[in-house]
Amino acid sequence: MARRLALELTNVEARALLLTVSESRVHVEKSLTLPLAAEAPADGQPTVEQKVVEFLNKNGISRVETLAVVGRADIELRLLSVPPSPDDELPGLVRFQAAGEFANLDADALLDYLPLDEPVAGQPRRVLAAVLKPGVKRRLDKICHDAKLTLHHIVLRSAASASLLLRQKPELCDACCLLVELLGRHVELAAVRHGRIVFLRHMLLSDSPEDVSDAAESLSSEIRRTRVVVANQESVETVEPIVFVRDDQRREALARRLGDEIGAPVVLIDSVPDGVASFTTTNRDRFAALLGAVADDAAGRPPALDFMNPRQPPKAPSRRNTYAAGALVAIVVVVGVLGLNWIQTSGLRKEIQQRQSRLRELEPRVKEANEVIEASEAVERWFGNETVWIDELRWLSERFPPAKDGRLTSLIAVSNERVRRMSLKGNVGREAVTDLDRGLRDDRHQVAVERKTEAGGDAKYPIQFSSSVQIQSP
């Protein structure tokens, strides 16, 4: 059985679970909570990272594979629509489009996405793209380094909680429901449809809705607004039921009250999934996401969003076996020739005849091998002349002015035996015209046709351009 540490940091506290995990059972050894000040530490005071490391060391936790859970406030989230494409092409398309949707998205940004629909011919794909804020990754790296931990996964809190919900209520997999997570004054609302998160928001109330009536009223209003937004986004009649994580009688009373006020059914789920043993602590609902993430890991189920292991395009097929077969045939031929030469020099006529007979038997195989080699070389030449449009899109995203200086309104790609071309249309600011001209030219790319005109009515991007970029053969 392996040991795991599940860790979550918020503005007000750090939560940790030390567990022993097998395929069928999860045993909680320790459940820990460390209060944290919401304000920045004063000069000379330990930082949040130092407090967490000291807390883990004090409880004897080190050299453990670690799974970190982050909340909605730790990420940037966008709903993207990308051109029709199969799943293996989505990673490149999502990162290309995210470059224009997320501010300051660099090549090292931790981005993952969740497809919201299945590929349909001719239909755009919807994806929920998430980027982990850089400061969050640096904080987790420092804690794991100083505490001698190995960080393996960074998963989204609401996605782990949604997995816990569907484990307990599989009948909701085909519904469009709203999961409400209460963490004191902090509330996360996640809409789940067909087993996937389609909408996510975080809010900070004035007080705990379980203790103060005005805060409960505010929560009721936010739930109503969220249901309307999700119903419009997903084109469904209603978003129900409303799901809460069971905690105590106050939670159940609040859930019933909100259900009556909103006029929607309410479901309460347990914070502890099946297969988890020896877990008794106060405020168990605060550990629901950690337990859901660990249960998925123990079952070998990949997280819906994992910033340490994001979705990647498939690796190109290896040609190693083809080359190895060609080399093996060549070795056989060389060995046969060397053997024949040795026999000729020995003067043993009988053995020469035997070798010559053997050589004649091998000739058809050599011919077949040569045909295989020729076919392999033809395939290699074909691959060498192929235009890899994912690479060209990445080149264009790197060379095109940033979103604050320009936008691309049209991209037409043409590839055949005679020409490889990208036809671009868009608008840029006056200061970005020179950068646009230089950026679209390099050793492999030349601008064949270029027109620029004034675009009236657009103060941010006053220059309208139309360019044709010729792509040279590699």
Look at the block and give the residue holding tokens 């009988």.
Answer: 350
Compute the radius of gyration of the chain from its Cα atoms: 30
Rounded distance between C-alpha atoms, residue 203 and residue 72, angstroms: 9
Nearest to 186 by CA among 310, 8, 352, 44: 8
Instruction: Please provide the average confidence, as pLDDT, over all residues in the chain.
Output: 86
Residue 461 pLDDT exceeds 90: no
Query: What confidence tier does 390 reach under pLDDT thresholds 50, 70, 90?
Result: confident
Measure Cα distances from 367 to 304, 334, 362, 373, 410 in Å.
Answer: 52, 14, 9, 10, 52
Rounded mean pLDDT of 283-293?
Answer: 86
We find that the CATH architecture of domain 389-471 is: 2-Layer Sandwich (3.30)
Residue 38 pLDDT exceeds 70: no
Reported as a single tens digit per residue, the pLDDT across 403-431 is 888 888 899 988 877 788 889 898 888 88
Residue 5 pLDDT exceeds 90: yes
Residue 115 pLDDT exceeds 80: yes
Quick one: pLDDT at residue 380? Answer: 63
Asked which of 1-5, 28-32, 343-347 is least confident by mean pLDDT, the reply is 343-347
Reported as a single tens digit per residue, the pLDDT across 425-444 is 988 888 888 888 788 888 88
> In DSSP terms, which residues pair with 334 in a beta bridge?
none
Quick one: pLDDT at residue 220? Answer: 94
Q: Is 430 helix (H, G, I), strand (E, B) or coil?
A: helix
Look at the block and give the residue holding tokens 């805060």.
Answer: 215
User: CA dihedral in degrees (408, 414, 420, 423; nearest 10)?
Assistant: -30
E strand spans, 271-331: 276-277
Residue 134 pLDDT exceeds 80: yes
By CB neighbour count within 10 A (0-12 exposed, 13-18 middle, 19+ buried), where does 77 fall? middle
Rounded distance between C-alpha atoms, residue 271 and residue 245, angstroms: 6
Domain 2-73+135-298 CATH class label = alpha beta
458 neighbors 409 (Cβ within 8 angstroms):
no
Rounded mean pLDDT of 241-258?
Answer: 89
Rounded mean pLDDT of 352-374?
Answer: 83
> In DSSP terms, which residues pair with 470 in a beta bridge?
421, 446
Rounded distance between C-alpha atoms, residue 170 and residue 173, angstroms: 6
The full set of domain ranges for the chain reads 2-73+135-298, 320-385, 389-471
Reported as a single tens digit per residue, the pLDDT across 148-160 is 999 999 999 999 9
Quick one: pLDDT at residue 272? Answer: 82
Quick one: pLDDT at residue 244? Answer: 94
Chain centroid to Cα 282, Å, comes to 33
Nearest to 94 by CA among 397, 399, 315: 397
Give the CB-side neighbour count of residue 102, counting CA atoms within 13 A. Answer: 27
Rounded distance between C-alpha atoms, residue 186 and residue 209, angstroms: 10
Quick one: pLDDT at residue 42? Answer: 64
Quick one: pLDDT at residue 214? Answer: 93
Residue 375 pLDDT exceeds 80: no
Residue 267 pLDDT exceeds 60: yes
